[in-house]
Structure 1
Amino acid sequence: MKIIKQIFDFYINSSIHVALSVYALVRMTQYMFNISHDDAMVYFAFFGTIVGYNFVKYDALARVKKLQMRNELKAIAFLSFVSLIAVGICFFQLQIHTQIVAVAFLGLTLLYTLPFFPNRKNARNWAGVKIYMVALSWVGVSLVLPILNAEIVITSDFYLKCIQRFILVFVLILIFEIIDLQYDDPHLKTVPQQIGVKRTKYLGYILLLIFCCLEIFNVDGNDNLSIHFFSISLQSIIAFIIAIFMFFANEKRPKYYTSFWVESIPVILWISLILLNK
C-alpha cells in the first residue's frame, strides 16, 4: 500500500493529473469544432502543462534553496525535462500563428512565476489576480490554441465557448480556493477571503447557471435539434457535478478532494462524451 500511495502522490505532485485534465479539455474542444488529426496540439498542451505547472510549483522554492532534492523531486525534475523536450518537438509542428500565441501564453506563465517588476512580487502573489490569470491560461491552451491551429473560422460560437470555458475553470478554481482558505496568505485576497465561503459558493452556483444558459445560444446552422438538446444536456450535467463538489467543499477536506477529484471532472466529461457518442 505504501508503494501504491507513493506512485499516486507522484502522479499528483508531478502534475500528470492536471495535464490529463487539460488534455481532456483539448479533446473536447476538438470534438465540439469537428477537429481531427491534430495530435501535435493535444500533446503540446499535455506536456506543456506538466512543464508549466511544475515550474510554477517548484521554481521559486528551488531558486532560494528551500527545497531539498528528495528522490520524488528528482523524478519530477526528470519528468519535466523530458516533457520540455516533447513540448519543443510538438511546438515546431504547430502553425506559425499558433506558435506566436503559444509564446504569449508562455509569457503569462513566466509573469505568474517570476518577479519581472522592481519591488514587486510575481503575479501569483498579486492580490486578487491569480484566479483570472489561471482561468485565462486554461482557456487559451485548451480552446484558443486548438482553434487557431486548426484554422477554424472564428464565429460567435467560438466566443461563447471561450466564455463558457472561462466560467468552468473559474468555478473549479473557486473550489480550490475554498479548500486552501486556511493555508493561503491573507494578502492574496482570494474570492473566499474577500466575500466568505458561503457567498463564494453562491457565486459559483450563479456562474454555473450562466454557463448552462449560454449553451442555448450555441446553435450552429448545421446542428439539428437532437444534437443541440444533447449539448445542452451535457453542459447541464457538467454544471450539476461541479455544483455538488462546490456544495461539499470546505477547509477541512483533504488535498485529494481538489488535486484529484475536482481535477478529474474534465476527464470524466471527456470519457462520458466518448461513451455517449459510440
Structure 2
Amino acid sequence: MSEIHHNHNVVKDGELSITEVMRLSYNFLTSHYGLFLKLSSIPILLWVWIGIISDFLYLEIGFENQIGVLRAFLSAAFALVWYRHFLMGTEYASYKELYKTMRASGFLGMDAFFKACLRFVIITFALIVPALIISIATMIFQASNGVELTDQFVTSIVSNSVFLVFLLLSPVIIRLSFLSAARALGRKTVDFKMIWNKTKGYTWTIWHLIFRAFLPLSIITFLFRNSAENIVRQANVDVYVADILVELPTAFLTFVMLAIVVAANASAFKYLFGAREKKRD
C-alpha cells in the first residue's frame, strides 16, 4: 500500500475533511511523480497523435471526426489505474493489472458491455433531452425578439444549454461515478443501489470536494490552451507542429488534473465504502 496514504488523516470529527483530502491528493501526486509520468506518458502521446491524425484527415480529405471520444477513453483508462494505485498500492498500478481485474470480474463480458451501453444511453438522454428543451425555448424566445439565429449563435445556445444541464445534474453524476471506481477495484457487490444509499447525505460534500479538485487546474489548462493557440496562430506555425506545441502541454496538465480529481474521489470512496488494507490473496 502507498505509505503516504496512511500518514494523513482525512477525517475530522467523524466527517470527511475537504482541506485534508486536497492536501493528500497533491502530496500523493508529488510523492509518486515518477509513476505518474510512467502511467500517463503513453496516453499523453496518444492524445497528441490523435489530434495530429484528426487534423490530417480534415485537411486532406475533409473528414471530421469526434476525437473527444477517443481521448475520453484514454483519460478513463489512466483514471482507473491511478484509482487502483491510490487505494490498492503500486503493485496494482498498471494497465495490465487493470485489464486482468476487469476480465476476472466479468466486467469485460458481453453482458457487462450491453449494461454499460444502456447506462451510456440513459445518461446521454438525461443530458440531451433537457438541453434540447432549453435550447429550443431559448431560440424561440430570441427569434421572437428579432434576433437572427445564425449557425454560430445556435451552436452557442446548444453548448451553453448542455453545460447548464450537466452542471445541474453534476451532483448526481458525481455520486454515480463511484460505480466505475468499484469496477476498477473488482468490487462486484457494489451496484447503483448501494452507491445511492452510501452517498446519501454526502452529496454536497462530495460535489464540493470534486469541484475543489477540478476547478483550479481546469482553469489553468483552459487559459494555457487559449494562450498557446493564439501564440502559434500569430507565429504562423505549421499546423502539425502547432498540434504538438499546444496539445502536448495541454494533455500533461489534463492528466495532472485527473490525478488530483481521482485521488480526491478515491479518498471519498475509501471513507464511504472502505478499502483493502492488505494484499489480495
Asked if Structure 1 and Structure 2 have the same fold, meaning a TM-score greater than 0.5 normalized by the shorter chain, the answer is no
Q: TM-score, normalised on structure 1?
A: 0.33
Which of 1 and 2 has greater Rg? 2
Structure scoring higher RCO (CA < 8 A, sep ≥ 6) equals 2
Q: TM-score, normalised on structure 2?
A: 0.33
